[in-house]
Structure 1
Amino acid sequence: MDRRSLMKRAGIAGVLASGIAPAVHAQAAVRWRLASSFPKSLDTIFGSAEMFSKTVKELSGGKFEVSVHAAGELMPAFGVVDAIQNGTIEMAQTAPYYFTGKDPIFAFGCAVPFGLTARQMDSWMEHGNGRKLMDEFYGKYNIKSFSAGNTGTQMGGWYRKEIKSAADLKGLKMRMGGGLLGEAMNKLGVVSQNMPAGEVYQALEKGTLDATEFVGPYDDEKLGFAKVAPFYYYPGWWEGGAELEFFVNSKAFNALSPENKAIVSAATQVAARDMTAKYDAVNPVALKRLVANKTKLKPFPKDVLQAGYKASMEVFAEHEAKSPEFKKIHQDMRAFQRDQLLWTRFSEFYYDSFMASVKI
C-alpha cells in the first residue's frame, strides 16, 4: 500500500501509530513588508530591494514573500528606523547615516568622511569587526543588519557656481545625505540640509539650495540635477563607498525557521552584489552622456580636500570625546583602513594608475 492510500484509509492518527511519518513537513507561509527610503525611479538602489524580494520568493518556492514599498508609500523615507524598532514593519532598506540625529554611530553603517571604499567596507563588515560592532549597536533599535549593496565612491555633487577654493564653500546652502558630513561641512561654512532625493531638484531650481550631493552619474542624471546646477565636482570625499543596508526587525528575524533565516541571508548577498555591479556598469556611460550635454566636470581643488579632511578629523575627535562606543567603532575602522591602504598601494592603486595612463 502506498503512503497516500495509507493516509486516506487510516487517517493521521493511524499513520502516526504505524510509525510512518510524512516525508515532507510543510512550512507555514511567511509574508513580510519592506519599506525603502528611496523612490522607484532610482532603479539601481531601489532595485536592490526588488532583487531581494524576488530571490526570497524563488528560494522559498513562493512560501516566503516580501512586498517592497517605495519611500512615502507606507511611511516617509526617514521613518523606517522607528517603524522597524516598534515592529510596524519587518524590514527596511535605507542608508544608515540618515539617522545620525538619533546617534552619530549610525554613520559607520553607511559612510563617513574619508572612510572606506566599497571593497574595504565589504571586507570590514563581513571579515573584520564591522558587522559585529554595528549589530551590537543596532540592537538598541531592535535591528539586525545585512548589506543591501554599495554605491562605490560617489561624486562630489552639483553646484550652481564654480568652487575655486575652500573659501567658496562659505555660506553655501547644500543638500547632503546625512551622517557626519554635515558637521564637517558646517565647519567649512556650509549650511547643510538633509532632504529626500525627490525634493532636491525644485529646491535647486528655486535657489533655496545652492548645491547638492547625491550618488553618482546614473542616479544624478535621472534626477535632472544637470539642468539646474551646471558644475559637477569629484570626488565625494565623504562617501568613499556608501553602504546601503537592509534593516530587519530582530524579533521578526528570530521567529523565522533556520531555513528562512538562511534564505534571507542568501538573498541579501545576491541583492548587494547585483547593486554594486550595476552601478559600476551604468555610471561611466551616464557620465559620458552628462559631459556630452555640457556638464562642467571638475575635480575639487586640493585645498577643499585638505580643509575637508581637517574638519572631518575634528568632528571625529569631538565625538570620540563624548562617546566611548563611537571611539571604539571609529578606531577599529581606521585600524582596518590602514592595512587596506597599505595593501592597495601594491595592488589596485598601482595597477589602476598605470591602466589609466595608457590607451586601451
Structure 2
Amino acid sequence: MKSVTVALAVAAVAMPLTAAAKTKIRVQSVISAKADEVTMLRDYADNVKALTNGEVEIEILPAGAIVGVKETLDAVDKGLVEGGFAWTHYWSGKHPATMLFGSPAAGAGLGIDNIAWVSWYMFGGGKELYNELWDEMGVNVKGIMLQPVGPEALGWFKEPINSMDDFRKYRFRAPPGIPGQAYNDIGVAAVAMGGGDILPALEKGTIDAAEWCCPKPDSVFGFQKILKNYYLQGLHQVVVNADMYINKDVWNSISPENQRAMEVAADASLMRAMAYRIYENGKALKDLTENHGVVLHDTPKDYFPEYMNAVSNIFDKHKKENPFFLKVWTSMRDFADVAVPFWAGAQTTNANLGNAYVESKK
C-alpha cells in the first residue's frame, strides 16, 4: 500500500501543471491613442494584468482599427472585436437613458456633480441600473465604468461674452444628444461634430466657438491657436463618464476570480482617473493663460437658469416616454434628495477655500 501511495505521489509531481486559460481582450477606442482617456485606459489594463497574474490581457486599439467609431458598440455586441471604449452617451441613439450614465446634462437637473455621481453609482443603486442598461438596449455587452470627468468647460470664443445674447451670436460646437439639444432650445446654434473635426471647422469658419472638454484635452487639440477667450463654468457636461464594453460571451468565459479583479481595478480607476485629470488640467490651464495669451472668464450668470430650464424640459419629455429613463432618473433624484444638500454645502467650503488661495496669489 505504501508503494502505491509513493507511486501516486511521484506521478503527481511528474505531471505538468495545467496552465490557467488566458483571455486577450482587444479594445477599440473611439479616440486617438494619444488622448488622456487612453492613457488612463492603459493604466487600467496594466492593473488588470497584474491582478489576474497575466491571465487577462487588454490590448488597446486606436479609433477605426477594426470598425468605424459609430459602429464600435455594435461590433462588440456581434463579437467582431472583444471590447470597445467610449462614453456611454455615445449610444443615446439606441436608448436615451445612456445620457444619464455618460453625460447627465446639468447634473441630471438634480445638482449632481462628477464626484456625487460616482457616489450614486457605487452606493446609490447606479451600478445595478448600469448593468440593466445593456439588456434594456438589447446588446450582448458587459459594461465597465472607468473614468469620470467634469465639470467640462463652457468653451472657447473669439470675443468675450457678457450675456446669453452675446452667446447666441455664435455657431457653437456642442456635444450631440441632450446637451446639444438644450443649447438649440435656448437659441444657440449648436453644431455636433467629432473632436478631430473641430479645429479644421474653426479654421474654415464653419463654426466660430467650440467646446470639447477641459484645459488639457482642449490644448492638445490646439483651440488656443485660434480662440483666446475661455470659460470654465458650463452645465452641458457637469458629469462625463468614459466606459469600456466587453462582449458578454467573452466576459462569461473569464473566471469569477478574474472578473472580480477587473471590477476592483475598475473601481480603482474611478478615483485614479479623477485624480489624474485634476493635476493635468491644472498644468494645462496654467500653461494656456501664462504662455498662450488665453484669457479666463466667468460664465455669464443668465446662462445657468436658461440652460437648466431647457434640460429639465427635455428630461420631462423622456421621463414620460421611456420607463427605464424614468427609473434611472428617479433613482438619481432619491439619491440627490439625501446627498446633494450635504455635498453642495461641503463643496461651497472647498470652493471658497480654493478661491481664497487664488486671490492670495494675485
Residues 207, 60 of structure 1: alpha-carbon distance in 2 compared, 3 angstrom cutoff: same
In terms of mean alpha carbon deviation, does 203-212 or 175-184 score higher? 175-184
Cα deviation, residue 59, structure 1: 2.4
Superposition misfits of 4+ residues, deviation over 6 angstroms: 20-23
Pairing partner for 2:221 from 205, 220, 223: 223
Residues 155, 61 of structure 1: alpha-carbon distance in 2 compared, 3 angstrom cutoff: same
Pairing partner for 2:21 from 12, 28, 32: 28
Pairing partner for 1:89 from 81, 85, 91: 81
Residues 128, 318 of structure 1: alpha-carbon distance in 2 compared, 3 angstrom cutoff: same
Post-superposition CA distance 1:146-181 (Å, at most 9, x none): 221112311111123432222233363322233310
Instruction: Describe the SS at the equivalent of 2:162.
Output: coil
The normalised TM-score by structure 1 is: 0.89
Post-superposition CA distance 1:14-46 (Å, at most 9, x none): x5xxxx99796531121111011121221x211
User: In structure 2, how many angstroms separate the alpha carbons of the residues matched to 1:83 and 1:131?
Assistant: 24
Cα deviation, residue 95, structure 1: 0.8
Residues 21, 349 of structure 1: alpha-carbon distance in 2 compared, 3 angstrom cutoff: farther
- Paired residues, number: 348
The yes-or-no answer on 1:130 pairing with 2:126 is yes
User: In structure 1, how many angstroms separate the alpha carbons of the residues matched to 2:64 and 2:17?
Assistant: 41
User: In structure 2, how many angstroms separate the alpha carbons of the residues matched to 1:180 and 1:268?
Assistant: 27
Cα deviation, residue 316, structure 1: 0.8
The yes-or-no answer on 1:57 pairing with 2:49 is yes
Aligned partners of 1:186 and 1:192 also within 8 Å: yes
Cα deviation, residue 357, structure 1: 2.2
Instruction: Describe the SS at the equivalent of 2:57.
Output: strand
Residues 258, 25 of structure 1: alpha-carbon distance in 2 compared, 3 angstrom cutoff: farther
User: In structure 2, how many angstroms separate the alpha carbons of the residues matched to 1:175 and 1:346?
Assistant: 33
User: In structure 1, how many angstroms separate the alpha carbons of the residues matched to 2:116 and 2:345?
Assistant: 15
The normalised TM-score by structure 2 is: 0.88
Identical pairs, percent: 25
The yes-or-no answer on 1:206 pairing with 2:204 is yes
- The RMSD of aligned alpha carbons is 2.5
The yes-or-no answer on 1:150 pairing with 2:148 is yes
Gaps of 5+ in 1: none
Aligned partners of 1:107 and 1:180 also within 8 Å: yes
User: In structure 1, how many angstroms separate the alpha carbons of the residues matched to 2:279 and 2:295?
Assistant: 22
Post-superposition CA distance 1:63-108 (Å, at most 9, x none): 3211101212223333221112212222222111122122221111
Post-superposition CA distance 1:102-122 (Å, at most 9, x none): 222111111222113221111
1:95-244 aligned within 5 A: 95-115=87-107, 116-139=112-135, 140-170=138-168, 172-244=170-242
Post-superposition CA distance 1:220-279 (Å, at most 9, x none): 111101112222112121222211112222222112111221222123234333221110
Cα deviation, residue 131, structure 1: 1.4
